[in-house]
Amino acid sequence: MKTGKIPQQVVVLSLISLVVIVSFFTMRFILTPKSFGKYGHYRADAIDDVKNLPISYAGAKACGDCHDEIVKLKSKGFHRGVSCEVCHGPSAGHTEDPTSIKPEAPRQREGCPLCHNYSPSRPTGFPQIITAQHNPGKPCMTCHRPHNPVPPVTPKDCSACHRSISAQKMVSRHAPLECTTCHSVPKEHFKNPRFVRVEKPTTNEFCGKCHSSDAKAQANLPPIPRIDVEKHAGRYLCWDCHYPHSPEAK
C-alpha cells in the first residue's frame, strides 16, 4: 500500500518551526547568564554587582550617633518621619570623614515647597502654601525651624492646611460663611490637627437652620434656597446628595 506524498506546505511549516525552535534554544543558551538559577529565578551575580556599588547613604541611625540633640528635637516635630538625607542629601562620605566632607544644608526657599507647595493631590490637613503668596522672597527658615517645623504663630485661617477645600468653597454659594459656622473647632485642633478633630454636623436639622422654609433670613447673604427638610430629605442626610463646601442648589 502506497502512502501519499507529504504536502509541500506541511514540509515548509515544519522547517520553519524547526528553525524557530533551534533559534530559541540557541539564543537562550547564548544570552542566559551563567549564574542564572544558582539561587533562584534570577541572576546570582547581581548580588555581587549591588555589593560593589558605592555606598552613598548613611541612614538616619548613623546621623543620630553624633547629632543626638537634633534627632531628639526632630523626633518631637512633624518631620520625625522624614529621613535626614531627604533634605541634606547622601551623607555616607560625611560619616567617614566628617571634617572634610560636609552634607548639604539647604537654606534656600526652593527646598521646602517640593513637599509643601499647594497640590490638590496631597491629603487634607497636610500643611500647604502657595509659594508666590506666602512671604515671597523670604527663606522658609526665617520663620520655621526645619528640625521641628511648628508654625511660629498658630494659623487662624483654615486654608493654611485645608487649601483645596478653601479654594473650592471660595467659588461656591457658601463662600460668605465662616468655617466655624458649620464646624465646631476645638482650640487644641490648631496645635494637634491629626489627633484633635473638628466636629461636623450630624443631622439634617443643622442645614435646616438656614435652608428650612421657616428659617429666618440672614443678613449679608445671597438668597438662600428653602425646602421642607422632612419632605425633601426623607431618610437621607443632606450631604448624601449635596457637597457642603460647594453646594450646587440654586
What is the CB neighbour count within 10 angstroms for residue 98? 12
Which of 139, 126, 141, 146 is closest to 77 using CA atoms? Answer: 146
Quickly state the pLDDT bin for 78 (edges 50, 70, 90): confident
Look at 225 and 15; give whichever has higher pLDDT.
15
Domain extent listing, the chain = 56-105, 107-171, 181-189+198-250
Contact predicate 206/189, CB 8 Å:
no
What's the whole-number mean pLDDT along residues 57-71?
Answer: 91
- Residue 3 scores a pLDDT above 60: no
Residue 12 has a pLDDT of 93
Which of 101, 75, 106 is closest to 88 using CA atoms? Answer: 106
Contact predicate 246/169, CB 8 Å:
yes
- Residue 83 scores a pLDDT above 90: yes
- Residue 124 scores a pLDDT above 50: yes
Residue 41 has a pLDDT of 87
121-126: long-range contacts (C-beta < 8 A, 24 or more apart)? 124/161, 124/162, 124/164, 124/165, 125/161, 125/162, 125/193, 125/194, 126/161
pTM above 0.85?
A: no
- Residue 1 scores a pLDDT above 50: no
Residue-wise pLDDT tens digits, 143-196: 888 898 875 555 667 887 787 888 888 888 888 888 989 999 898 887 777 788
Residue 122 has a pLDDT of 84
Residue 27 has a pLDDT of 94
Hey, which residues does 154 pair with through a beta bridge?
A: none
Separation CA 38–CA 46 (nearest Å) = 11
Q: What is the mean pLDDT of the chain?
A: 86
User: Which residues, 6 or more positions from 104, have their beta carbon under 8 angstroms from its beta carbon?
Assistant: 87, 88, 89
Residue-wise pLDDT tens digits, 21-61: 999 999 989 999 989 988 888 899 998 898 899 989 999 89
Range with the largest mean pLDDT of 9-23, 152-166, 190-204, 226-240: 9-23
- Which architecture characterizes domain 56-105 according to CATH? Orthogonal Bundle (1.10)
Residue 220 has a pLDDT of 60
Range with the largest mean pLDDT of 84-88, 156-160, 245-249: 84-88
